[in-house]
Structure 1
Amino acid sequence: DLGHFFSTYSLVVAADLAYGPVLQKVASACYSAKVPLIVCRINGLFGLVRIIAPEHLIENSRDGVDSKQLSNLCLSDPFPELVEYAAKFDLDALDDFSHKHVPYVVLLVKASMEWKTQKGLLQIVERRDVEGIRELLQSWRRPHEEENFDEALRKAYLVMFSPERNVLSSEAFDGRKGEDGKGPSSSLNRSFWLFVASLKKFVEEEGRLPVSGKLPDMTSDTESYVGLQRIYQSKSRKDAEKLASYVDRIAHETRTETMSAAQVQYFTNLAPYLSVQR
């Protein structure tokens, strides 16, 4: 049986195999066995690669974006440690040098918190509120050039951006897929589906995605940036520990192999960008 034969492999590559009955049989057998098939053809300087598989799991759907920029900064709903850190910056008391090196994350947290207090809001859900926050930031600027405020103005949309909504509506969370850590091709993608199942439990419990612990580049002095980085990394470790407990529990319940702490942290960093194509 051709399907049984290909099921012993994790990947099949067909190089310069002409389109016809043979390739169709190979593709059908691989598809039934849930084994990805890569078809490669070349003609002079022209090359073609096709992937045939029941599903394609994408760990990072932001192709072409530097991994350092893939950060869940939690600006739409800042966690207590981040709010406490931002509160330490008294903008009026800072000298000009320090003022123009306050990280834009701190500026956005302070501006969004003040705006929500002024308007009696729990969340920023309207674009007009984002524009109000931009105006508030402009009022805090000083006459000289301040790149950190330019960055805050460009990133102000993040105060109403909730990445968990994007993930929860993706196919990774569709129906029963991933609920028990067993996706449709679990033998090949066990770690992905186990994490998806655990992530779903985490989001149901916490109402948000885990913090990645990564910070993008930004205008800042070293002390402020390192301090902010420590806040995010500490929160990320706590979230990863909680996720790991879900991973271990689901792995035990489904009698599948669990994930290492490094694997959990890896997927945690990319949680907002997981995707599935079928």
Structure 2
Amino acid sequence: MKDFGVIVACYDKDYSFAKGCCASIRYFLGDVPIALIVDGNFSIKELENAYGVHALYRPESAHECLRDKEWRSSTKMLAFWESPWEYFLYLDADIVVWGDLLKFANFTDYDMIIDHPAYEFTNEAINKWFFNGIQIEKYFPDFQWQQRPYFCTGVFFAKRNIFDLTEYQKLLELRLANPKMFYGMDQGLLNLMIFRAADRGEIRLKQESMQVIISNFSISELNQRFPMDKTGPICIENDATVIHWSGQKPFISRSTVYSEPMNFFRRKFIQDAWGYQGLRAELMLQIEDFKMYKNKLMRRLIPWSK
């Protein structure tokens, strides 16, 4: 595919998962170009050396509303205007690829391909996980917000510049003025942008079932759906999705989450980057997890400690 690559967004606290994500891209998608949107100024030299990953540093963005955190723009939104490629696959850092996900990349007929949710959202669920429907009716009276297949925005295919940056900036201003209007950094706002643009005929939109959110399934169900053996994933032919740890994160020692696919790819990165296996690799993962867990705990106990 010409002028196409994969973009992963991360900050320092989930960089360890981003390395596993990139390892899964190399494992299943081959030599496709990869870029990492970095929210911060930390080095990703190890990913550059191992997989040729290109760094896009958020503080270096040419656009104020994408660069400055006062706007409360999510890191992933840089991809729509500053992707190195005209066409791209976007992935959150806490995701691994499972199978040939590129089979969904139909840019001949569509400008954006997003996940189709496994369950239909009630109005109550939409108000909880996406946006306040009453406020949406107030500011966007022509938009039918109910009974829509909204999606978790951890994975999507898109064409660069399909959205107007000025309109996005206005939406950010609206959110700043109405803090309880949208859920999360991008989930509600991006879904609104996508479905409004599709309604107006500005983008050609397609939905495919290409995301499994681990919090929606039991560990036994996930173990059966994504089996692993000593050599790695047991992926059946034509199976293609991403595994998304949007709830509890897949720390190496966390027994309450099915984390084996991410564990495998985090280990694979360590082997690909430094050649380490066995106890040395496990120690590196334990240290990474301790640092991530410590920082998350500190932010819970002391909200201003960042």
> Would you say same fold, with TM above 0.5?
no
| Bigger fraction of residues in strand | 2
Bigger radius of gyration = 1
TM-score by length of 1: 0.25
| Bigger fraction of residues in helix | 1
